[in-house]
Amino acid sequence: MNPAALDKAANLSRRADAETVLPPRQQIFRALQLTPPESVRCVILGQDPYHTPGVANGLAFSANAGCKVPPSLRNIFKELCADIGCPAPTSPDLTPWAEQGVLLLNTILTVRPGAAGSHADWGWQTVTADLLRVCAELPQPVMFLLWGRHAQKAGLRPPTETKQFLCSSHPSPLGASKASADVPAFLGSRPFSKTNAFLRASGAAEIAWRLP
111 and 121 Cβ atoms separated by less than 8 Å: no
Query: C-alpha 205: how far from its chain's center?
Result: 20
48 is catalytic: yes
Task: Name 44's bridge partners.
Answer: 104, 145
Identify the bridge partners of residue 123 per DSSP, sorted by sequence position: none
DSSP secondary structure letter of residue 23: S
Per DSSP, helices labelled H in 85-190 are: 95-98, 124-136, 149-152
179 burial class (0-12, 13-18, 19+ CB within 10 angstroms)?
A: middle
Q: Which of 7, 48, 93, 182 is catalytic?
A: 48
Q: Is 116 exposed, middle or buried (0-12, 13-18, 19+ CB in 10 A)?
A: middle
Neighbours of 124 (CB within 10 A): 20
Q: List residues with catalytic annotation.
A: 48
